[in-house]
Amino acid sequence: MILLNKNQYEKILIQLKSVPFNTLFARAVLESKVFGKVFVDNINKPKSIFIAHEYGMSLLFGDTENLEFNLELKKYLLNENKDRSNYEWLQVYPEKWNDKLKELLNDKIINYSKLLDNYSKSEADILTEKYRENHIIQWGRVNFIYKDIDKAIFSKSEYEIKLIDSEIYDRIEGSVIPKFFWKSKELFLSVGIGYALMNGDDIVSIAFSSCKFDNVLEIGVETSEKYRNMGFAKHVCQELLSYCKKNNYSPIWACRLENTGSYLLAKSLGFEEVITLPYYELIKI
């Protein structure tokens, strides 16, 4: 795995177009909208490609049969050098990469959905927590699209919705927030878009563009801990969807299949499933 210089990302951007599902996070890396790294098998003629987004999302695609690349990939996935201290979630293309990973990693992949075939959810969760210390956990990632933006039933909140400005941006806390998806506050405020549901000075919930290209906008959502499970995220998402409709953006949504809150929120807003893909949680220190 050779680290590719940023001035050579354009050739990878062309190859990325061959991947038939949502790869906006990888495109954001290649177009320098966010920090990340790109590894390849050959600098001049890359065939096996690994794109890592700073937030902890990665994409592996291309040739599955490059032995030297695959040996380095195995070390990376298993975190043998103890370089990865945070979570990372991997998608692959084409499908035969899934078989290749099983071949490379032997018994190091634990499929969560198969655990559920033999255990209750609570038992499977306990086993997953035990296994994740030294195994890769296979989850599912759902890609959604809006088939008909008018299908969503909009509702009003008692709280005020504000455009995310510099002051609000600086006060947003959580794990899915703009600063993890954009290289800088200035870039987000000039190119991205987001709204905050406010209770006085409290930021209740936000919905923002985690990626925004051409006429496509991917939605990121975060609700402050004390306001969760009260339905507030739906209100602020509806504001962002209204922006999309007015400005001719196609909104898209992606989440882990097992993330019930995000999954049900997407469905309630009018999103429909397109595809569910294997989603690998990599080993961290």
Q: Span 95-110, mean pLDDT?
A: 96
Domain identity same for 61 and 165: no
Give the CATH number, domain containing residue 51.
3.40.630
Residue closest to 213 by CA, chosen among 3, 14, 9, 28: 28
Kindly report, residue by residue over 150-180, the tens digit of the pLDDT.
555 555 668 899 999 999 999 999 999 999 9
Domain identity same for 87 and 165: no
Domain identity same for 8 and 107: yes
Find the domain containing 160 and state its range: 148-269
Average pLDDT, the chain: 94
Q: Span 128-148, mean pLDDT?
A: 93
Domain identity same for 122 and 164: no
Task: Spell out a b/e string for 200-221, using b for 16 or more CB atoms within 10 Å of the CB, else e.
Answer: eeebbbbbbbbbbeeebbbbbb
Domain identity same for 128 and 77: yes
Give the CATH number, domain containing residue 234.
3.40.630.30
Q: Residue 149: pLDDT above 80?
A: no
Quick one: what percent of the chain has pLDDT higher than 70? 96
Asked whether residue 167 is domain-assigned, the answer is: yes
Domain identity same for 22 and 119: yes
Domain identity same for 201 and 114: no
Domain identity same for 38 and 133: yes
Domain identity same for 203 and 243: yes
Domain identity same for 240 and 257: yes
pLDDT number for residue 284 = 87
pLDDT number for residue 164 = 98
Domain limit, last residue, from 121, 140, 159: 140
Asked whether residue 96 is domain-assigned, the answer is: yes
Q: Span 142-153, mean pLDDT?
A: 74
Domain count, the chain: 2
Asked whether residue 280 is domain-assigned, the answer is: no
Domain limit, last residue, from 110, 140, 170: 140
pLDDT number for residue 78 = 95
Domain limit, last residue, from 108, 140, 172: 140
Residue closest to 108 by CA, chosen among 224, 284, 282: 282
Farthest CA pair distance, the chain: 59
Kindly report, residue by residue over 28-86, the tens digit of the pLDDT.
999 999 999 999 999 999 999 999 999 999 999 999 999 999 999 999 999 999 988 88
Q: Span 19-31, mean pLDDT?
A: 97
| Count of CA atoms in the C-beta half-sphere (13 A) of 162 | 16
Domain identity same for 9 and 131: yes
Asked whether residue 89 is domain-assigned, the answer is: yes
Q: Residue 97: pLDDT above 60?
A: yes
pTM for this predicted structure: 0.93
Look up tokens 């001719």; give the residue. Answer: 248
pLDDT number for residue 83 = 84
Kindly report, residue by residue over 174-232, the tens digit of the pLDDT.
999 999 999 999 999 999 999 999 999 999 999 999 999 999 999 999 999 999 999 89
Q: Span 253-270, mean pLDDT?
A: 95
Domain identity same for 67 and 152: no
Q: Residue 148: pLDDT above 90?
A: no
Quick one: what percent of the chain has pLDDT higher than 90? 91
Q: Span 4-33, mean pLDDT?
A: 96
Asked whether residue 185 is domain-assigned, the answer is: yes
Q: Residue 249: pLDDT above 80?
A: yes
Neighbour tally for 130: CB within 10 Å: 11
